Amino acid sequence: MAHHLLKYCAVLTAAGTACLLAIPLGGAAPRFRPDDPLAREPESQDASGAQPFEIDLGAELLINLFSPENRRPSNEPSANVNTIDEVPDSGWFTNRIYATPLGVDDIARGPNTIEGPAPGVWTVVAAKVSGAAPGFRIRDTRGVVWFLTLDAKGWPSSATGSIAVACRLFWALGYNQVESYLASFRPEDLRVGESATVEPRPNHKRPMTRGDLDAVLARAASNPDGSYRVLAARALPGRVLGGFRYSGTRPDDPNDVVPHERRRELRALKVFAAWTNLTDLKALNTLDTVVDEGGRGVVRHYLQDVGSTFGAGANGPHDWDEGHEYLYEGDATWRRLMTGGLYLRPWQTVPYHEHPEIGRIETAGGFDPEQWKPRTPTAAIAGARDDDTFWAALRVGAFSDALLRAAAHEAHYVDPAAESMLAAVLMERRDVILRTYLPKITPLVRFTLDRRGQLAFENAAVNAGVGPPPANGYRAEWFVFDNTTQALEALGATTAREPRLPGPDGWDRVGSRASYVKVIVTPIDPERRASSRPVQVYFHSSGDGWQLVGLERAVDAR
């Protein structure tokens, strides 16, 4: 019943019943319901009562580093997938790349809907309250509020370029992203607003002065003409609630019924963050807002700070060990301390790409996505199974070279070599991702069944060039499936060398007496067990032909 968890939880929550039961009332329930596969996660409850709360950075750091759940695989399947093993759209995620073709123009635009801050004098309305990069908040001449991030002195374009590219990639991957624009200003284009304040120490606010603003600019990289390059992030719509955690649920959001560590889109960050080297995965880099939809409040969840990506963070290049070690590594940390740094780790010997506008990031030869680590572990990443990482790898593989070049171009680096390097790094790491994760399970995707009984699908590993076709082709076992009793009536088996299999004998009579069919598809290759396990698919007959309504993959426990 796991594939109906979202639907049942929403119903039971509305009735005030414990959603963990996920058991329908009455007699036997059908395996598939008329709205399967769900395209959108139910969010029918009013979340207007959700209230802001603060997440203590120190407490979060300690919990993430030392809680065993953040490092231990759970072996539990993702709980928010639909019946065809896909993630429905929701306040967390929108299917884009892989599900829908994206072009170069889509990547260049990303989440953006306007042209950036309006020209003219900008009013500084507040100091920056989080993050290490120099910045502040302004209101432009149209009255739009923007959060400005500047590059650290000595590292021009590194922080702003990383954010500009990363927000487009993560938007394409499906995550809610803040509208972000590269812009520039001169110091004389800024004025300090009357209500702007700074907090030089906790609980001690005072009015902001021009000197405070100049102190921020003194920490930032300036252009030769005295102007400053800036990444302007547009204020989000709705009422801000604060960040979300990578485990548990938000108790005051009645629609938040799936534990975050079992949300596939959060587990998939094991792959997406490794690909982009997004090392700073923490709750303070996320943001929830309540927006009005049809008269009820709905929470929207944002990965609102994806700046510590590729080779740089807020204040310059990543440290050498970022992406390779947590902030605390137990025995390894102590051994390095006890030996005065003589205890060598792999990151101390791998080759790196380096550039002043990008920072430093290991070459493909030093990149192992299975061993990649953010600064602190999370339960969501620890819980990722092979079906989760396969799902993520399909989306990474959907970025063509042209799309990655288009994304890198949006950094607007001064040196063209930096743009070329970043595009090449993303391509290299993409290819490593595909080699690592696509062959881990049977990589059959995009199943269709036509009226003639012709079953077609794709082998994602073969298409990506990271695995051979099965040595002896494919075998399909066909059944009539009773959706109420789940009884099976065998129809026969067919085989073919290519991923196109004919229906069994007598198929022309099946459509007139069966609403559902089940097909067990197996690549025939004894030498490759992991990628040759059966995939079970289910189709429902409708007026438009046969529709895929179910898909199940075999996954090894860890």
**What residue type is assigned to position 64 of the chain?**
N
Determine the pLDDT at residue 11: 38
Comparing 544 with 322, the larger pLDDT belongs to 322
146 located within any domain: yes
Helix (H/G/I), strand (E/B), else coil: 80 = coil
In this prediction, residues 444-449 reach a mean pLDDT of 98
Residue 334 pLDDT class (50, 70, 90 cuts): low
Of 452, 274, 441, 448, give the one whose Cα is nearest residue 366: 274
Tell whether 282 and 353 lie within a shared domain: yes
Residue 540 pLDDT class (50, 70, 90 cuts): very high
Which residues, in sequence order, are CB contacts of 194 under 8 Å at separation 6+?
A: none
CA angle 278, 282, 283 (to 5 degrees): 135
Q: How far apart are CA 311 and CA 318, in angstroms?
A: 6
Determine the pLDDT at residue 14: 39
Q: Is 400 exposed, middle or buried (0-12, 13-18, 19+ CB in 10 A)?
A: middle
Pairing label, strands 122-127, 190-192: parallel
Mean of per-residue pLDDT scores for the chain = 91
Q: Which of 7-16, 246-255, 275-284 has the lowest mean pLDDT?
A: 7-16
Which residues, in sequence order, are CB contacts of 367 under 8 Å at separation 6+?
A: 274, 428, 429, 432
259 located within any domain: yes
Residue 352 has pLDDT above 80, yes or no: yes
Determine the pLDDT at residue 23: 40
Tell whether 182 and 255 lie within a shared domain: no
Q: What is the Cα gyration radius of the chain?
A: 26
Which residues, in sequence order, are CB contacts of 60 under 8 Å at separation 6+?
A: 245, 282, 283, 284
pTM of the model: 0.92
Dihedrals phi, psi of 222, to nearest 5 degrees: -110, 160
Tell whether 310 and 331 lie within a shared domain: yes
Residue 285 pLDDT class (50, 70, 90 cuts): very high
Residue 211 pLDDT class (50, 70, 90 cuts): very high
Q: Which of 298-302, 327-331, 531-535 has the lowest mean pLDDT?
A: 327-331
Q: How far apart are CA 137 and CA 148, in angstroms?
A: 6
Sequence-ordered alpha helix ranges (H) in 319-459: 331-338, 379-382, 386-397, 401-409, 416-437
Tell whether 183 and 296 lie within a shared domain: no
Tell whether 15 and 137 lie within a shared domain: no
Q: How far apart are CA 180 and CA 163, in angstroms?
A: 8
Tell whether 319 and 351 lie within a shared domain: yes
DSSP string covering 524-551: --TT-STT-S-EEEEEEEETTEEEEEEE
Tell whether 101 and 121 lie within a shared domain: no
In this prediction, residues 323-330 reach a mean pLDDT of 85
Q: Any idea which residue has 């009884």 for tokens?
A: 487
Q: Which of 100-114, 256-270, 337-351 has the lowest mean pLDDT?
A: 337-351
- Tally of domains within the chain: 3
Residue 106 has pLDDT above 80, yes or no: yes
| Bridge partners of residue 181, in order along the sequence | 232
Residue pLDDT, tens place only, 405-434: 999 999 999 999 999 999 999 999 999 999
Tell whether 140 and 271 lie within a shared domain: no
Determine the pLDDT at residue 25: 44
173 located within any domain: no
Upstream peptide bond of 24 is cis (omega within 30 degrees of 0): no
In angstroms, the Cα distances linking 159 to 156, 163, 281 are 8, 6, 16
Give the domain-ending residue among 206, 240, 274: 240
Residue pLDDT, tens place only, 214-230: 999 999 999 999 999 99
Dihedrals phi, psi of 168, to nearest 5 degrees: -75, -40
Q: How far apart are CA 512 and CA 486, in angstroms?
A: 19
* Dihedral, 86, 89, 92, 98 alpha carbons, nearest 10: 60
Determine the pLDDT at residue 199: 85
Helix (H/G/I), strand (E/B), else coil: 44 = coil
CA of residue 371 relative to chain centroid, distance: 18
Dihedrals phi, psi of 239, to nearest 5 degrees: -95, 125
Determine the pLDDT at residue 343: 65
495 located within any domain: yes
**What residue type is assigned to position 268 of the chain?**
A
Q: How far apart are CA 109 and CA 171, in angstroms?
A: 10
Tell whether 356 and 470 lie within a shared domain: no
Tell whether 370 and 401 lie within a shared domain: yes
In this prediction, residues 533-555 reach a mean pLDDT of 94
Residue 553 pLDDT class (50, 70, 90 cuts): very high
DSSP string covering 344-358: --GGGTS-EEEETTT
Residue 16 pLDDT class (50, 70, 90 cuts): very low
Give the domain-ending residue among 215, 240, 265: 240
Q: Which of 16-25, 164-173, 272-281, 509-518 has the lowest mean pLDDT?
A: 16-25
**What residue type is assigned to position 302 of the chain?**
Y
Pairing label, strands 122-127, 135-139: antiparallel
Structure tokens at 2: 């796991």
In this prediction, residues 379-388 reach a mean pLDDT of 96
Helix (H/G/I), strand (E/B), else coil: 201 = strand
19 located within any domain: yes
Residue 556 has pLDDT above 50, yes or no: yes
Determine the pLDDT at residue 441: 96
Work out the percent of the chain whose per-residue pLDDT is above 90: 75
- H or E segment at 265? helix 264-267
Residue pLDDT, tens place only, 466-519: 999 999 999 999 999 999 999 999 999 999 999 999 999 999 888 778 899 999
Residue 439 pLDDT class (50, 70, 90 cuts): very high
Determine the pLDDT at residue 21: 33
Tell whether 356 and 378 lie within a shared domain: yes
- H or E segment at 212? helix 210-218
Tell whether 246 and 357 lie within a shared domain: yes
Residue pLDDT, tens place only, 21-78: 334 444 578 999 999 999 999 999 999 999 998 888 888 888 888 888 888 888 899 9
Residue 18 pLDDT class (50, 70, 90 cuts): very low
Pairing label, strands 287-293, 197-201: unpaired
Where in the sequence is the domain holding 392, given as residue range(s)? Answer: 2-106+242-438
CATH of the domain at 536: 2.60.40
Work out the percent of the chain whose per-residue pLDDT is above 70: 92
Residue pLDDT, tens place only, 233-251: 999 999 999 999 999 999 9
